[in-house]
Amino acid sequence: MGIYASLGDISFEVVSGWTDFSATRSAHFAEHVVIEGKPKVQWVGDGLELLDLSIRLHAALGDPDYGMRQLRWRLTWHKAMALVLANGFYRGRFVMTELVETLRHTDPWGNTVLLEARMALKEWVGQEAQTPGEAVATNGQVPAGTVNQSSATATTLEPAADTTAIEEAMA
């Protein structure tokens, strides 16, 4: 079977493609109060795209419990994943914000036959995640309040043993 789409390193095959797919786009507006008149609105930016995908994981196509574990892991992974369709269309990078699991059918021994999963994805824009507390430089500029490592110098509170170099520099 051919690949229908991929989200990060997860591939969806043609038979197990999405059962539902919806996209929500928005725009943000600030509201400015006007004396003795109606408020004015001003566009301040676009919202992040939200996707809602539903899939079915059936035992005839593979282990549904394993597939669901992989999806659960991606939710706790907290990283952006590329969403690419089979025709090569790059939809963008998204983080999984919600995963809803519905058990639809089991065999007489309690083994999973059919699971449905609904994933909520939120568009990711910007750089890769940085280490905690690390300031991110944009456009080559060092953010305010950070130390530029190339200009930082070590200082000591102990007096210099040889003051000749200091005296020469001051003269």
pTM (predicted TM-score): 0.65
Residue 137 lies in a domain: no
Q: What is the pLDDT of residues 150-169, one digit of tens each?
A: 333 333 333 444 445 444 54
Question: Tokens for 159?
Answer: 């007096």
State the residue range of the domain holding 21.
Answer: 3-125
d(CA 46, CA 43): 8
Q: What is the pLDDT of residues 98-117, one digit of tens each?
A: 999 999 999 999 999 989 99
Residue 98 lies in a domain: yes
Residues contacting 69, CB < 8 A, separation 6+: none
Q: What is the pLDDT of residue 17?
A: 63
Residue 168 lies in a domain: no
Residue 27 lies in a domain: yes
Amino acid at 36: E
d(CA 141, CA 139): 5
Q: What is the pLDDT of residues 30-86, one digit of tens each?
A: 999 999 999 999 999 999 999 998 888 888 888 889 989 999 999 998 999 998 888
Confidence of residue 9 (pLDDT cuts 50, 70, 90): confident
**CATH number of the domain to which 108 belongs:** 2.40.30.200
Q: What is the pLDDT of residue 143?
A: 43
Residues contacting 7, CB < 8 A, separation 6+: 74, 81, 82, 83, 94, 121
Residue 161 lies in a domain: no
Residue 135 lies in a domain: no
Residue 97 lies in a domain: yes
Which residue has 């930082």 as its token pair?
152
Q: What is the pLDDT of residue 33?
A: 95
Provide the number of structural domains found in the chain: 1
Residue 147 lies in a domain: no
7-11, 12-16, 142-146: segment of lowest average pLDDT: 142-146
